[in-house]
Amino acid sequence: MFEIIRHKGASVKADVLSGITVALALVPEAVAFAFVAGVEPMVGLYAAFLVGLITATMGGRPGMISGATGAMAVVMVALVAQHGVQYLFAAVVLAGLFQITAGIFRLGKFIRIVPYPVMIGFVNGLAIVIFLAQLGQFKIDDGQGNLIWLSGDSLYLMLALVAITMAIIHFLPKLTSAIPSTLVAILTVTAVTFYMGLDTRTVVDFVRSMSGDPQATLAGTLPSFSIPAVPFTLETLSIILPYSAILAAIGLIESLLTLTVIDEMTNTRGRGNRECVGQGVANVTCGFFGAMGGCAMIGQSMININSGGRGRLSGITAALALLAFILFAAPFIELIPLAALVGVMFMVVLGTFEWASFRIINKVPRQDMFVIVLVTVVTVFTDLAIAVLVGVIVSAVVFAWEHAKHIAITTDKTEEGWKLYRLHGPLFFGSVANFLELFNAADDPEHVVIDFENSRVADHSALEAIDTLAERYLKEGKQLHLRHLSPECRKLLTKAGDLVEVNLIEDPSYKVATDRLA
């Protein structure tokens, strides 16, 4: 599905080098998302470290990278603006508890109901979001608080460095795969910029422009434990509960969908329920260590997989390297040109977007193509959780509409000379109207048999429709015989009472409206 550079196996060397590469790309992302949420840069960097380390250690998907994300940051900003950062930390703790609960009750399996067109729309939408986010690096402050586009030599230099970065990432693997091409590209462009004295924006320039502090730096200390300074009252719970529920849902949806994408890329299978628990523990920890929380990051995960990272060591290395940057190497990381990181993310966009979706426009059902486009657009203009929810609902409605047309009957006579209807196709909420239109109680003989052997009674709406049909025949003074209904169906057919005969021979054993999975 995703045509990127693939590596057959994991190794310590590949994981370590890949983790370092990911850590370099995490820095500006974590800082940017911190400002989106309205908190200090270090709150975002701590989240990238804690979430990345814990999920890499105990999560359900080796090789997947987690950290502070924009999808969660846009939810946090309103809470921080109205109540302050301490309420955010409390909300993150509660969100983590929700996620742990979801894992304990094995709710991660429900990610399987997300249709394939929704998955394609998801990755396409995120690719576009990642691309649009990088365009902000082509703007500068005009000195009056307004952002204007780069122009002239500054723009040409930026584009040239981006192009060099992308060229190294693309062509180096054709020569050697001993070192991740992304890491080589970042180090090369940084060295060229530094030794040639090129006037281009660096990571520290980005941090200072975002904070408005000309002395801002990435240097920091270890995160320290503290209980969120909020009143432990029902009022506090009423404030944070809605935010926590949304944060937990968004975090799990993005994480589990990213897990599914990486499963397909690596031809392996992650453990969704374990990932729920891992994400939850990470967010609870963030709340007690002054971090903003987070979830899986598809962009950084793509960088990791593309660079050869397959094992848990890659995520652990990324988190520890990020912490090392904060504690010891901030002056060196601050020298990295933004152009190098933009080039890396542009390559992520190219590897993430499902370009085959253009080729299959005329080859897949129109409704599937509609879902792909719809989820892509909703992801770009709203957020991931809403996009996936909309995609699943539309896919379900389309499925119900199409299968509602598949119900039909054939008529015959029984040995007793009674009229026999053989029902074909699923009987469920979408097909009950068509089902009732197939029979005419007024014109049928005194005894009528409906055989459900080739039909599937799927839900309670179907049972109600059967009951309604039985009542119609009762009003006409006629006897309706139902054959091959499951025991569950027979128990629920209460309206017609004993006047409806149910044949017990060869009844199927399927369940009605069950949530049990095979």
Residues 253/388, Cβ–Cβ less than 8 Å? yes
Beta-bridge partners for 449: 420, 481
The 3-state DSSP class for residue 486 equals coil
Residues 260 and 342 in one domain: yes
Is residue 61 in a domain?
yes
Q: Are residues 335 and 456 in the same domain?
A: no
The verdict on 304 and 445 lying in the same domain is no
In degrees and rounded to multiples of 5, residue 429 shows phi and psi of -55, -30
Query: Is 387 part of any domain?
Result: no
In a domain, 509, yes or no: no
* φ, ψ dihedrals at 408, nearest 5°: -155, 170
Both 296 and 430 in one domain: the answer is no
My answer on whether 357 and 460 are in the same domain is no
Q: Are residues 345 and 414 in the same domain?
A: no
Q: In degrees rounded to 5, what are phi and psi of residue 451?
A: -100, 120
Q: How many Å separate Cα 458 from the centre of its chain? A: 29
Among 368, 395, 414, give the residue marking a domain's end.
368
Q: Do 172 and 95 share a structural domain?
A: yes
Q: Is 352 exposed, middle or buried (0-12, 13-18, 19+ CB in 10 A)?
A: buried
One digit per residue, the tens of pLDDT, for the chain of length 518 reads 433 334 445 589 999 999 999 999 898 888 888 887 888 889 999 999 999 999 999 999 999 999 998 889 888 988 999 999 999 999 999 999 999 999 999 988 888 788 889 989 988 988 898 888 888 889 887 777 778 899 999 999 999 999 999 999 999 988 887 788 899 999 999 999 999 999 999 998 888 887 778 888 888 899 999 999 999 999 999 999 999 999 999 899 989 999 998 998 888 889 999 999 999 999 999 999 999 999 999 889 999 998 889 899 999 999 999 999 999 999 999 999 999 999 988 988 898 888 988 888 888 888 999 999 999 999 888 877 788 889 999 998 888 888 787 889 999 988 888 999 999 988 888 899 999 999 998 999 988 888 888 888 877 788 888 888 888 888 888 888 888 876 666 666 655 455 444 443 344 444 444 333 33
In a domain? residue 396 = no
Q: Under 8 Å CB-to-CB from 313, ≥6 apart: which residues?
A: 10, 12, 15, 16, 19
Residues 209 and 342 in one domain: yes
| Domain co-membership, 203 together with 284 | yes
Q: Are residues 335 and 417 in the same domain?
A: no
- For residues 470 and 341, state if they share a domain: no
Query: Is residue 411 situated within a structural domain?
Result: yes
Residue 10: predicted pLDDT? 59
For residue 151, the enclosing domain spans 12-368
CATH number for the domain that contains residue 499: 3.30.750.24
Number of structural domains (the chain) is: 2
- Its pTM stands at 0.76
Residue 319 lies in a domain: yes
**Residue 385 placed within a domain:** no
Residues 6+ apart with CB under 8 A from 218: 27, 31, 41, 45, 203, 204, 207, 325, 326, 330, 333, 334
Q: Which of 368, 395, 428 is the last residue of a domain?
A: 368
